[in-house]
Structure 1
C-alpha cells in the first residue's frame, strides 16, 4: 500500500500548490505540473506491473507459445541499451550463440531479457560492465546477464524475487523502481517452465541465469 500511496500523495500535494496559485500561468507553475506528470507515469507503470502479476495464472493458461529464437530475441532487446551504456559510461558486451530455440511467448521472453538487462545497468558500478549471454548446452538453452558492481548481500539473495523487495531502497527509489521487476522476471520464467537463479560476490560480480528447455529445430519455427 505504501508504494501506491506515495505517488498519490505527491500528486495531491502538487495539485494543492497549483490550486493555491490560481492566477499564475502554466509556465510559472511548470515545475509542479512536471512533478504530477512524473508521478502519474510511475503510478501507471506500477499498476501495469501489479496487473501483470495478478494475471499470472490466467496468462499461463491463455498465453500462446511457439518455437522462438532466443538468440534473435536477446540481440534485439539489448540494442536499445547501447545508447544507455554510452550515456552512462558503461560497457555493454554480449556473447550470443546463434539459432538457440525455446518454446515460449515472444513478448514475455522479450520482457524477461529487458528486465534483467535493465536491472544490470541500474546496479552495476560507475564505468561498470554488463554482459548478456545466450548459449545452448545439450537439452538446455541458457540466458544469462552479468554485471560488475557491489554484490547482493548473501542474506538477501533468497528474497530478491519477492514482490516489492528492494536491496537498496533509497537507490531504487531514485532509479524509479518499485521492486517488481525481478518478481515479474521470475513469473515469466516460471510460466515457461524455466528456472531463474542469481549468484553474487565481490570477486565474480552478479550473475542472473535463466535456464529453458532447448528446442531442436528441424524445419522452420512453427506454432505448437
Structure 2
C-alpha cells in the first residue's frame, strides 16, 4: 500500500490528539469544552509538524539522490522530474524503482561488455594462430633453401611450391578478414538486382565438380522440373554465399553422400536450403558456427582447408539482404542451411533491372 505524507500526518495527528484528550479526560476540573480545544490544538499542531518533518526528510533524501545521479552524469537515466517526484504518493519508492531499472540495464551492458571482451581475446588468439601457421611454414621452407638446399633443383622446386601455397593461404585469409571487416563497418554496398539463383547454383556445381567427384558426392537441385528461380540479390555476394555453403557440404559431408540445393517458392519470398547427409553438427556447436574462426572439429577442418571465416561472411551477406540464415542439424543425419530472398514476380523482365537495383548498406 502506498501512503502519502498527508495521510501519514493525518493518522499520527489523530492518534496524538486522541491519546492527549484521553489522558486529560481523567484529570479533575477539565470539562468538554477544554477537551475539545485541546483535541483541536493537538491535531492541528501535530498534523503540520509531522507533515513538515516528513516533507523535509523526503525532500532532503531525494535531493541527495539527485546530486549523486548528476555527479555520475547518467545521460540515459529516465528519471521523473524532481517537482513531480515530490508530489508522488511515495516519492522514495518511485525513485528507487527508477534506480533499480537503471541498475538492471547497466548490469546487462556490463555482461555484454564482458562477453565482447572474451570474444576479443579469443579472436586475437585465433588470428594469431591462423597467421602463424602459414607464415612459419613458408619461413621454414625458405630458410631451408637459403641454408643450402637451393642447390638441389628437385628440393628447391618442391619447397618453393610449398612456400607459395602457404603464402597463398595467407593471402586468402587476409582478403577474407578485409571483406569481413568492411561488411561489419558498412563499407561494402549491396547491388541488389534480379538474379537467377538456380542458374547460379548450377554454375557453382560445375566449379566444384572435381571436388565432388573426388569424394563421390552427388550434387542435385530440387524440385527437378525447375528452369529458373529469380530473386532480388547481389549476384557476386550471393555467389559467394552459395559457393561457401555448397563447398562446405561437400567437404564436411560423407564420402559417397549427397548435396541438395532446394528451392521453395512462396508468395513473396523464395526459401533456399543447402542440405547434406553427412555426420551433422553436435547441438552444442550450432549456436557458434557463424563466429569467426570457429571450427567444430579443428583437426578435420585443417585437413579440408579454409580460413574459418566463410560462414561468418555468409551470415553478414545474408543479413545485408534483410534476412537471416538458419541451420538445422542432427548427428549422422546431415545439416541444412536455410535462408530466404525476395522473389522477382513473373512479368518483371529480368533484364530491365533499373527498378530492382538499389544500394543497400550493411
Q: TM-score, normalised by structure 2?
A: 0.58
Structure 1, unmatched stretches of 5+, are none
C-alpha distance in 1, partners of 2:214/2:149?
Answer: 40
Preserved CA contact (<8 Å) 1:152 1:200? yes
Shift of 1:93: 1.6
Shift of 1:5: 1.6
Q: Give 1:7's aligned residue.
A: 134
Larger Rg: 2
Shift of 1:68: 1.9
Preserved CA contact (<8 Å) 1:166 1:178? no
Distance 1:32 1:148, change over 3 A: same
Give the structure with the higher percent strand.
Answer: 1
SS at match of 1:117: helix
After superposition, the C-alpha distances for 1:140-192 in whole angstroms (9 at most, x for unaligned) are 21111111121101011000001100111011111112211111111111111
Q: Give 2:158's aligned residue.
A: 31
C-alpha distance in 1, partners of 2:306/2:202?
Answer: 24
- Between Structure 1 and Structure 2, how many residues are aligned? 222
After superposition, the C-alpha distances for 1:97-121 in whole angstroms (9 at most, x for unaligned) are 4432222211111111100000001
Distance 1:2 1:28, change over 3 A: closer
Shift of 1:50: 0.6
Structure 2, unmatched stretches of 5+, are 1-127, 358-362
Query: Which one scores higher on RCO, CA 8 angstroms, separation ≥ 6?
Result: 1
C-alpha distance in 1, partners of 2:271/2:150?
Answer: 60
Aligned counterpart in structure 1 of residue 190 of structure 2, from 56, 63, 66: 63
Aligned counterpart in structure 2 of residue 111 of structure 1, from 224, 240, 257: 240
C-alpha distance in 2, partners of 1:100/1:90?
Answer: 24
Q: Give 1:151's aligned residue.
A: 280
Preserved CA contact (<8 Å) 2:220 2:261? yes
SS at match of 2:326: strand
C-alpha distance in 2, partners of 1:31/1:23?
Answer: 10
Q: TM-score, normalised by structure 1?
A: 0.92
Counterparts of residues 101-180 of structure 1 (less than 5 Å): 101-180=230-309
Misfit runs of 4+, over 6 Å: none
C-alpha distance in 1, partners of 2:154/2:327?
Answer: 48
Give the structure with the higher percent helix.
Answer: 2
Shift of 1:23: 5.7
Preserved CA contact (<8 Å) 1:115 1:185? yes
